[in-house]
Each structure stands twice: as C-alpha cells, then as structure tokens.
Structure 1
Amino acid sequence: MTDTAIAWDTYSRQRPERRPTNARGETTWFNWTQYADHGPGVELLDLPAGGRVLDLGCGKGGNAAHLAALGMDAVGVDISPVQLSAAEERWGDTPGLELRHADALAYLREDGADFDAVYSVYGVVWFTDPAALLPLVRARLRPGGTLAFSQRPPVEGCYGRQASYIPRGGDEDPLVVKRWDYEPDAWEELLKEHGYMDTRATVVSAPSGDRKVGALIVQARTARTTTRPPAMSGQAWRPYSSSF
C-alpha cells in the first residue's frame, strides 16, 4: 500500500459517517462544503439527464450515491481501501453507482471513458499537482463538460504546494500529504492556461455563527464542438448558479 493510501485510510477512520438523513429528511444529498446542509447543490455540475459523472476522491461515497439516485451514471474513484469499504457497505447496491479503487491520475490515464462532468469535494483536485491533473481531466470531459471542485480557501500568503498533516495519535509523527492552494483568481487563470473556459472561483461564506472558514468552489468547462455526443445534444450551457 502506498504512503498516500495509508494517509487517507488513517484520515477515514477519524471522520464521522454521513448522517442517515439530512435536515430535509433526504437519504441522499450533495454537499460541496465542510458544513452540513449548506451551500449549492448538483446544479453546479450542469449535468444532462442520465449523464455520466466522475467523483475524484469519492471518500465514503455519499455525493456519488446521490447522483446515481438522481439517475446519473456515477463513478467514484478513491485510493483508500478503508474509504471505499465504507462506501461499498452503505451505497454498494445503488443502481448506477460504480466504485473504483485506484490512484486518480492512473485511472484518468488508463480508463479511457469520457464524462459529462468531473468533480472533487475536498478531494483529489486539492491534493494533486494541477499541472499533472488538469490536462488528464480535460481529456476525459466531453465537449462542453464541467469540471467543478471545492476545498478550503488558502491561508493568506501560503500558495502553491503546501503540507497537510493527518494526526495518528500517541507518539507517532503525523502523516503528511501535499495539497495545492491558490486564490480564486489564480485558479481561474490556471484553468484557462490548461484550456478550460468559463472559469469561475468563488468563496462561499460559512454558515452564520462562530464558524469562520468558508469553502472555495471552482467551476470550468471544456470547449464545445460540433461533434458533441448524442447524450449532450441540444443541452445549453446554463449560467452559473446564483446560489453562491
């Protein structure tokens, strides 16, 4: 097992399970932020009915399961066996959901499937060199397809590759994983440099109260062509959601 997989296995054991239902009584839902029942929803992915969507770093599978429940063909990829075991236990029987144990870059290089949208919620996009990841994602997106991801906003002055620490307890040193932090306008420019269009990066404020850290949500799409797959035919690019 790689050091990265060990790190995310350790992280997974420290995280609570997703609630059985959310505040609206729903058994599946999509959450972009670190706060329950907060922020925009699946509209940011701009998916057609029955679209195909990829979750990079799906964790315990709740977001991908929600998309499958909506009738999408959802693929969740994660490097952590512990994360995927939890996802399989809770969501494994969900029609339309496929869970894959793989390194994200290897999956994107080797699988060859295309998608209407690719997304990452505090996942792979945050923890992978964008110079390696963004071209591979773009190659897997259908014309007019959406890339969307969320992560914590950067600490002022701490940009580019940073270190995240996952505690192990006792006398053991914490595990270290790399992450990539940029301000919203820097993300927009970086995506444009890699051939994406209609880039938008916005910080969603935290819920009211004493919570201070919001969530950075980034959207972009690939260029349209006259050879769009039939599943996307006639599907206009809708304006970005005004919900954040």
Structure 2
Amino acid sequence: MSAVEVWERYASNSRPRRAVNAAGASTWLNWTQYPDHGPDESVLGDLAGRRVLELGSGSGANLAHLATLGVNCKGVDLAPSRTSTAVAEWGHLPGLEFITTDAVTFLAEDNEAFDVVYSIFGAIWFTDPPILLTAIRAKLRTGGVLAFSHLPATEVGVVAGPAVSNWNYPAEKWENMLAYTGFTAIATVIAGPADGEVGTLLVRATAV
C-alpha cells in the first residue's frame, strides 16, 4: 500500500470538526489532540501580513482559521480527498489555497518564501526530519517561525511501517536537530487536560 493510499484510508475514517468550539467560535486553531485544550495561534507570533504554510493541512480547519484573520495561507496534504474536503468547506475564503502533494516535493518546487511554517500532527511527524527540516529552512525567511506538534516521544523514537513511518522524538533531540538545520528552538510537552491523559509535544523554532 502506498503512502497516498494509507492517508486516503485514514481520511475515510476522519470525523468532521465541530461546527463551534466551547467558546462559540466557528473557526479556531488547536495544537493538541483534545478539544478546547492548549494554546492558540499566538504560538506563531505576529501574523499580520505574513505568508503561512501548513504541512499536512488535512480538512483545512486550522488553516482556515488563520485565513479569517487576514493571513495569506497555503496548505499541503498528500491525500487528495483531504484537499477536496478542505476546498469544499473553506475554498470561499480569500487568501487561502490547498494543494495535494508531498511536503518535500512542494518545498523543492514552489517558488515562494514563507514567514511561518507549521504542522499539527502532520508532515513533520511523518517525514525524515533532516530532509524535511532542511527543506523548510530553505523556504523560511530568516526570523521566520516553524512550529509543530505531535505525541510525546516513545522509547523507540521512530516507528517504521511499510508505507508510513513516524518520528516522535523527545524534546531535546528535536532541539538538537533544529539547531543543526538552521533554527533555534524550544520544545515543551503540554500536559493532557486530565490526570493520566497523554500530553502533546509542542516545538517552536526560529530560523537563524
């Protein structure tokens, strides 16, 4: 089974995001796997006039929220059905574009520079980090922000599959890899909303 087929199967089991969150908002950005938990888009810094790229944009809800704030947004996802869903739901918003492609391929071929790149349980978790981080740094303006989240580290660190592997490294390893590829970074674990619930690793890096 190819990586595209894997993500298409995953997409077929995905549930639509709620129409409104606990605060009554119809769009929002959420870094963790729990509803109404964790920080918001402030992790990305000042977004006014910025060009933002999401790697692994899925159904587009997080990126759409940024577009409602007037940000120029582009989202990349490998699963065609996810892009179709995102366009159908959010394609009416100005300054928002969704593309079906692999993250590394997009970064190699696109001509834009970005001010912010982020990934929420997305491509950074599922792509060989030295390759992807180097490609991101080449497209991110100096002083730009890279932020991503995924589950905290396992003892193994890399979980390999026939078509898809994931890299859920500990905070210190991410910080070291980011330093090597042209960033300064701070990685933290956001505790789950209740005792015994797994947390979320959140990394925020600045291109130097």
Question: What TM-score, normalized by structure 2, do the two folds share?
Answer: 0.96
- 8 Å Cα contact 2:2-2:163 kept in structure 1: no
Structure 1 residue runs of 4 or more that deviate by more than 4 Å after TM superposition: none
TM-superposed deviation, 1:123: 0.2
**Given the alignment of the two structures, is residue 195 of structure 1 paired with residue 186 of structure 2, yes or no?**
no
Q: Which residue of 2 aligns with 1:242?
A: none
Question: What TM-score, normalized by structure 1, do the two folds share?
Answer: 0.82
Q: Compare 40-49 and 28-37 and name the one that shifted more.
A: 40-49
- 1:213-237 per-residue CA deviation (whole Å, 9 max, x = no partner) reads 11000011112xxxxxxxxxxxxxx
**Distance between the aligned counterparts of 1:220 and 1:101, measured in 2?**
26
Q: Percent identity?
A: 45
**Given the alignment of the two structures, is residue 216 of structure 1 paired with residue 201 of structure 2, yes or no?**
yes
- 2:64 is matched by which residue type in structure 1? A
- 1:119-175 per-residue CA deviation (whole Å, 9 max, x = no partner) reads 0000000000011100110011112000000000112x212x3136xxxxxxxxxx7
**Distance between the aligned counterparts of 1:126 and 1:64, measured in 2?**
18
- 8 Å Cα contact 1:47-1:117 kept in structure 2: no
**Distance between the aligned counterparts of 1:84 and 1:16, measured in 2?**
15
Q: Which residue of 2 aligns with 1:24?
A: 23
TM-superposed deviation, 1:26: 0.6
Q: Which residue of 2 aligns with 1:227?
A: none
- 1:203 is matched by which residue type in structure 2? V
User: How many equivalent residue pairs?
Assistant: 208
**Given the alignment of the two structures, is residue 180 of structure 1 paired with residue 174 of structure 2, yes or no?**
no
**Distance between the aligned counterparts of 1:213 and 1:118, measured in 2?**
25
TM-superposed deviation, 1:176: 4.8
RMSD over aligned CA atoms reads: 1.4
Higher-helix-fraction structure? 2
TM-superposed deviation, 1:194: 0.9
- 8 Å Cα contact 1:12-1:82 kept in structure 2: yes
Q: How does 1:1-244 map to 2 (within 5 A)?
A: 3-155=2-154, 157-159=155-157, 161-163=158-160, 176-197=163-184, 199-208=185-194, 212-223=197-208
Secondary structure of 2:153's counterpart equals coil
